[in-house]
A and B are shown apart, each in its own frame.
Chain A
Amino acid sequence: MATTTDPLLEEIQGPTPGQLLRRRVFGHHGLMIGGGLVALLVVVAILAPVLAPHDPYAQSLLERLQPPVFLGGSWEHPLGTDHLGRDYLSRLIYGARVSLMIGVIAALISGLIGTAMGVAAGYFGGRVDMVVTFLINVRLAMPVVLVALAVVAIFGGSLQVVIIVLGLLLWDRFAVVMRASTLQVRGREYVAAARAIGCSTPRIVLTEIMPNIVNNLIVVVTLEMAHAILLEAALSFLGLGVQPPTPSWGLMVSEGKQMMLFEPWLVMIPGIVLFLLVLAINLMGDGLRDVTAPENRS
């Protein structure tokens, strides 16, 4: 009983969501610049042993505080050396590993915690929602830097401690955003349809809800990555984060600050790279929000 077979009825309009997304991604300048910079830094961090001209830990007291090439230094140390005579470019390259690792792992841990809480609160509502909302409020009432300072002061500063502390502290935004997005999607009729089909709750959450809120998740991930990277730099600067001699950008700023008046580039170079990384991540996050926002989806 095939019904009307009209040629125009059979016409399928427009590109698939995937094609549409690809087209928008490549048409978005902010996303391309931010994403490109982040990708470049990731490659640099992964290839650090190959790219770094020197051992980042090798000290040479004879070559202390050499200026970078653009301030009259030599190509032997393109970005000069620090107060212990370590090659600044090599430390910068290895520092990228620390920053990116902290950003990625802290965002992953807090993302897992926050998403689980937010989705549960949004989907189940009622008591679950009340508990999660209470926890979010408690968390928001805690000053991140002070708590991190206290924990690091108790357990001692190290890369692992910083990552875990940040991971356990930065889930609030994930929980808030995921809860709101889940609430919105949960009311859609396709969720009701899936329930009427007899889908189990985990299946509904994983296949009906998650794919439709993952775009918001990605945006929060980028925001929190940038947030974690900045917090690590701040903690390291205060001497409570990554401990010397590990190369970290925050630590480099901290170590350079004694000589800031005489050799300002010691502070400026890691500062600028840090600024660029955070800017790039934020550009990428903004771009991702633009290309996946529902109001752009026609």
Chain B
Amino acid sequence: MTETRDPILSVRNLTLDIPVGGGTLHAVRGIDFDLARGETLCIVGESGSGKSLTSLAIMGLLAPRIERRADRLEFDGVDLLKAGPRKMRSLRGNRMSMIFQEPMTSLNPAYTIGDQLTEALLLHRNVGKKAARDRAVELLEKVGITAAASRLGQFPHQLSGGLRQRVMIAMALMCEPELIIADEPTTALDVTIQAQILRLLVDLQREMNVAMILITHDLGVVARVADKVAVMYAGELVETGPAGAVFGQPTHPYTRGLLRCIPVPGKTERGAELGTIPGIVPSLVGDVSGCPFRTRCEEAVAACRGAIPLRHRSDDAHAFRCVHETGMATAEVSA
């Protein structure tokens, strides 16, 4: 992947190993990406692809037994690989914040909305309680919550799922972070609410010029929200690039396969057979070499067991990992 000018987050060769009974689970293997201010990167993948672990690795929230290695893991000039627990605490909730999937479980039921909103601000900034509450009301209004001042005294269970997710977003924005990581922020919500929340996230992110990583399995969400897309499969980024390029010219067999799997209103013929990706995600325990997708790939050849080159489409920012020059075996033969 090409260098982004003045990235706020820069990741090179990030590798996550989890010791399990009978070997090591190579959950994430050598992923690279850069993210600039005001940019949205969507990491898309199926369950077990390692996308959530990647976000936790950046936030320094991995379980202690998971081994994190990288050539570079830099956030606005701070080397996160060398940052100790205290340094990480001063960053989290302050300069980088996270929004989780389940607003029900990520808000503490024992505290009021106001307490939880102001907590990070009081912890990281030298502000008084009054100022913190004013800021909380301002942000609740910004995320579209009516009667914001009266909400501060309410408890999470008194709010609907959509409102709770808005509170989570307000909470993530309290300290004006420079990086937001949203892990499946709308998966637990209804479609109508999903659209509202995504719109809110995108508007706020543009307005405040924040860098955002959005993790999802929903290709529709990715297409509508992302500036840059990273398709993750079995711990590797198999295709990365600007959203227009990845969806306009999907190149890696996995990306193409995924896009064939979903019915697209107006494009897929109603009732027609959908594309499928047969087989299952391979085990990542033990020796993992070659292309992880080869067991399910229709373009697979013997070379897929070896080293897989990183290739670029005509647009330099659009990259993919495949033995085939165009992601297709057939095109090569005819060429």
Contacts and interface: CB of A to CB of B under 8 A. Distances in A.
Direct contact of A and B (CB under 8 A): yes
Interface of A: 4, 6, 8-9, 11, 13
B295 A4 contact: no
B33 to A, nearest CB: 29
Contact of B276 (A4, A8, A11, A13): A4
Contacts of B64: none
Contacts of B295: 8
Interface in B286-335: 295-296
B278 A11 contact: no
11 contacts: A4-B276, A4-B278, A6-B278, A6-B279, A8-B278, A8-B279, A8-B280, A8-B296, A9-B278, A11-B280, A13-B280
Nearest to A14: B283
A6 B276 CA distance: 12
Nearest to B296: A8
Contacts of B278: 4, 6, 8-9
A9 B295 CA distance: 11
Contacts of B280: 8-9, 11, 13
Contacts of A9: 278-280
Contacts of A11: 280
Nearest to A4: B278
B298 to A, nearest CB: 11
Contacts of A13: 280
Contacts of B276: 4
A13 B295 CA distance: 15
Interface in B255-295: 276, 278-280, 295
B150 to A, nearest CB: 35
A11 B282 CA distance: 11
Contacts of A6: 278-279
Nearest to A23: B21
Contacts of B296: 8
Contacts of A8: 278-280, 295-296
B299 to A, nearest CB: 15
Q: Which 4 A-B pairs rank lowest in CB-CB distance, beginning with the nearest?
A: A8-B279, A6-B278, A4-B278, A6-B279
Contacts of B279: 6, 8-9
Nearest to B283: A13
A100 B270 CA distance: 69
A9 B277 CA distance: 10
A11 B296 CA distance: 13
Nearest to B280: A8
A192 B276 CA distance: 30
A71 to B, nearest CB: 48
Contacts of A4: 276, 278
B304 to A, nearest CB: 15
A92 B73 CA distance: 67
Nearest to B295: A8
Nearest to A8: B279
Given A6-B279, A8-B280, A11-B280, 11 more contacts: A4-B276, A4-B278, A6-B278, A8-B278, A8-B279, A8-B295, A8-B296, A9-B278, A9-B279, A9-B280, A13-B280
A204 to B, nearest CB: 30
A73 to B, nearest CB: 50
B59 to A, nearest CB: 24
A21 to B, nearest CB: 15
Nearest to A7: B279
B74 to A, nearest CB: 35
A11 B295 CA distance: 12
A120 B295 CA distance: 50
A295 B144 CA distance: 39
A287 B49 CA distance: 33
B280 to A, nearest CB: 6
A298 to B, nearest CB: 10
A53 to B, nearest CB: 47
A4 B275 CA distance: 12
Nearest to A11: B280
B306 to A, nearest CB: 20
A13 B283 CA distance: 10
A13 B279 CA distance: 12
A288 B278 CA distance: 39
Q: Give the one of B276, B279, B296 with max A CB within 10 A.
A: B279
A222 B296 CA distance: 49
